[in-house]
Amino acid sequence: MIFLSEMFAAFITAMMLENLLFARAIDIPGLYEKRSPQQILLIGSILTAIIAVCSVPAYFINTLFTSHAAFVPYMTLSFLILNCLVFLGSYFGIRRFAPAVFAQIGNALPFYGVNCATLGTLLIAARLSTNIHFSSFFGYCLGSGVGFTCAMFVIWSMRQSMSLSRTPKAFRGLPITLIYLGILSLSLFGLLGNQLPS
């Protein structure tokens, strides 16, 4: 029960309070491309699955590294190697067992597997606390992936409404998207307060 409650608390924190995109400005390549909700769900699922699978060995690597101070500078490298291995597994797994999905997103799949969101989540979760429990670590990683997927849906929702409005030409596309993200980030800071994310 304690395991589930800790996991749930970390999940909600990562998904809403410390959302990867709105609170930490961490993105993936091709975030601003036009996508349908089904594609967003697919990309989000792959991202979340990769982060969740990475989190299990990452927790033990983090425990090992934090106990030896000399290894800490190499934590990024070890997490990146882990991320790449999990991505390779998922790449060949999707190619083998889901060829229809692979045909749809195979070209862009590498960019969804290794990016700022996947590596950043592992690094942030490792910095949460020196003696973090596995439940919180896993819940945080899972929540980050789900929260990023929700953020992509919010951007899609923004596109739907902006397509009907008369945006000035100088602001169309990337500028208005950034301003929109800024105002959403403002609303989330109502929960966070004046904290700079690490």
Partner 1 sequence: MNLTFARKYYRLLSKTEGILYQNPLLALGLALPLAVIPSFSITGAVAISLAMLLCFVPTVFLASLLRGRFSTAGQVIVYPLVSCLLLIPAGKLVSWISPLIFDTLGVYFSLICVNSLLMFSVGQAQKKTPFAALKLALRQWLGATLVALVLGLIRELTGSGSVWGVTLLRNIPRLPVAQMAMGGFILMGFFAALCRLIHRSILRFTIKSGAALDAAALAQNQENSQGGEDR
Partner 2 sequence: MNPLIHHAPYIRHPESSRTVMSDMIIALMPLFCMSFFYYGPRVFLVGGVSVLTCLLADWMCSLLLHQKNNPRDLSPVVTGLIITMLVPPAVALYVVVWASLFAILVAKAPFGGTGHNIFNPAAAGLAFSTICWSGQMFGYTSAMQRLPMVIDETVRFVQGPTAALKVGGISRIGLTELLLGNFPGPIGSTHTLIIFACLIYLVARSAVRWYLPLSYVAAVSLLSACYRPFGVTPLESIANELFAGSLFFVAVYLLCDPVTTPKYRISRVLYGFSAGLLTMLFRYYSPFELSAVFAILAMNALAPAFDCFCEWLMPRLHPLPAPAKADGKGGARS
State the Cα–Cα distance between residues 49 and 118, nearest whole angstrom.
Answer: 10
Other Cβ atoms less than 10 A from the Cβ of 66: the count is 17
Considering only residues 42 to 101 of the shown chain, the ones binding partner 1 according to CB under 8 A are 73, 76-77, 80-81, 84, 87-88, 91
Is 49 near partner 2 (CB under 8 A)?
A: no
4-33 residues in contact with partner 2 (CB under 8 A) are: none
Q: Which is nearer to partner 1, 3 or 32 (CB)?
A: 32
Q: Which is nearer to partner 2, 70 or 183 (CB)?
A: 183
Q: Of 56 and 154, which has the nearer Cβ to partner 2?
A: 154
Residue 45: exposure state from Cβ atoms within 10 A (0-12, 13-18, ≥19) = middle
Q: Which two tokens stand for residue 72?
A: 């800490």
Q: Which amino acid, one-letter code, is at 7?
A: M
Shortest reach from residue 63's CB to partner 1, in Å: 18
> Which of the residues 4 through 33 are near partner 1 (CB under 8 A)?
22-32
Q: How far is the CB of 52 from partner 1 (least distance, A)?
A: 18
Task: Establish how many alpha carbons lie within 13 A of residue 97's alpha carbon, considering only the half-sphere containing its beta carbon.
Answer: 6
> Taking CB under 8 A as the criterion, which residues in 132-171 touch partner 2?
153-154, 157-158, 160-162, 165-168, 171
Distances (CA, A) of 194 to 124, 183, 184, 187: 19, 15, 15, 12
- Alpha helices by DSSP H, the chain: 2-12, 37-67, 75-97, 99-105, 109-113, 116-127, 134-162, 174-192
Sole window of 47-55, 73-81, 112-120, 176-184 interacting with partner 2 (rule: CB under 8 A): 176-184
Pick from partner 2, partner 1, none: which does 153 bind, CB < 5 to 8 A by kind? partner 2
Other residues' Cβ atoms within 10 Å of the Cβ of residue 67: 10
Site membership for partner 1, residue 177 (CB under 8 A): yes
Q: Which residues bind partner 2 (CB under 8 A)?
A: 153-154, 157-158, 160-162, 165-168, 171, 175-176, 179-180, 182-184, 186-191, 193-194
